[in-house]
Structure 1
Amino acid sequence: MKKFQKVSVIGVPMDLGQKRRGVDMGPSAMRYAGLIEEIQSLDFEVEDYGDIYINRPGSSKEDGLRNLEEVIKASEELCRKVCEIEAEQSFPLILGGDHSISIGSIAGISQRHHNLGVIWYDAHPDLNTEETSPSGNIHGMPLAVNLGIGHSRLTEIGGIVPKVKPENIVIIGARSIDEGERELIKEQGIKVFTMHEIDRIGMTKVIEETIEHFAGRTDGVHLSFDLDGIDPLDAPGVGTPVLGGISYRESHLALEMLAESQLITSAEFVEINPILDNKNQTADVAVALVSSLLGKKLL
């Protein structure tokens, strides 16, 4: 990551992509856990843009999608902010909020990266649409949206459709997959390392294959890191916990290897819910993982 001298942080206190409250406090929890100071200790210049404004009306549904208008407004604003950061040749670090924020972050990143790769580190593939979603929660749809699949008012944010090609996606840690998502993965030929593959071949091999998959294929790779990809024993304060996840140490290894590869050009860390946490444990985990991604070493 040392090809970047500056890291630009922007918070998105969004919890409207689903029903459970609390993930809107994720950006504050990460800052409270010492995120800015930790990045500065790695000799980066850091600019904290603060949080974008999120309008919070009463819960509504439009076209079967929860809080559609508010998610669109926040995504458009985030897209503009990320474009500003990218124009400064700075590393965009986006703090969620629920995973619907990646609609805006990737919309902004794709303005400058026309063959973008995405690593989706998550217990869920987030490939639902309004037709397949059991809940209507947009935080279960952002990867589909970025593929250009779903409600047109979401897919068209930023003016580029699709933002990412299916062959430029790698999902890591999936273990809760809806039937519609399973069909879309097979139909689109998306590369997925489920927990079965991680258990079977190990995280080292998973990341080696991920790096090899992107080699010469993309002009930038965005890491979308949902803290529920990690096992709830290590990260209890998340929006949608799923047992049997990636360990704390495996996650560090993954991000250390990605840092060494200099593959990642932007990142977001999402779905931290301090209400469900234990003494800010999950935010502390996130800050430690950001440090590994930005090149911190044990020796």
Structure 2
Amino acid sequence: MTNQKSQQQFLEYIADQIFPISKRSKTQKLCFLLRFSPENWQEENVEIARKMDEKLGAFNEQSINATLAEVLKKLKKQFGEEMNKNGVNWENKRGRPADDKQSPWRIAYGWLWDHKFPYWQMDGLWQTLIKKAASPSYWLRFTPDPNHKGLVVPPGKKDEPPVIGLNIPYSMHVELDCDQQHLLLLNRGLDTKYVVCPSQAFAPVNRLKDKTMLMPQSGAMCEEIKFDTVGQEEFLAIVLEESLDFPWLTPNQEEPAPIWNPERLKELWTRLGEDSNNWQAFYRSFQVVEAFA
């Protein structure tokens, strides 16, 4: 997918979340799509207004600032909390800023393309990898620590998602029916994205022995695996003929469980694409639930 096509799809994705189907929203949606397109970054608002007039057949160019203000209001309503987490806060900005680079729409533009877009792309890559993955149930399972005296989760009913107990110490068992010998295991929770293997925390050695692996390994920093948040936990295993030589995949104590971010997943995706015949993927998800007696 070309970057320009990807950018357009991203803008449509954001616009669909903000603007309901109505005549007024049609005008605001077009304003958003034009004003926040990288192609129009250098253009003044009056030029955006002229383009809107051409596309709509009739648009009062004098109302562009008011229209843009409504667009920003809806953008903040939908994504304001997420923006605040990224350090974006423009509530105290009034009037025309001395520095035009700090105008509200430019602040929103910066957030969209510097923060939101890379993570939207990352989610797309993650979903693409899942589609390429096999999902047999046996390849990944968790067993409670036999010495654990707390509450234990009963097995899930047939056809229900597999479950993991909250704050219960587990061992993780991987069993992969594949010819490749090196394991890369990624985990995605509600707000977390970890490399489980290889990692100093759980699996310093990523070589599969007899197509199986038990984690945490001997020599890992952690002695058990616990989940401290209710919700979905996803696991994606990529098995390769050779280990990947990315620096962030070298087990170390400074980053015991590496976080995979947009840059790292894109780097991984590029490498996998270059060697598309020498890897396989496996996927499974679990629901972390409150434990039962």
Above 0.5 in TM-score? no
TM-score class, shorter: under 0.3
Q: TM-score, normalised by structure 2?
A: 0.28
Q: TM-score, normalised by structure 1?
A: 0.27
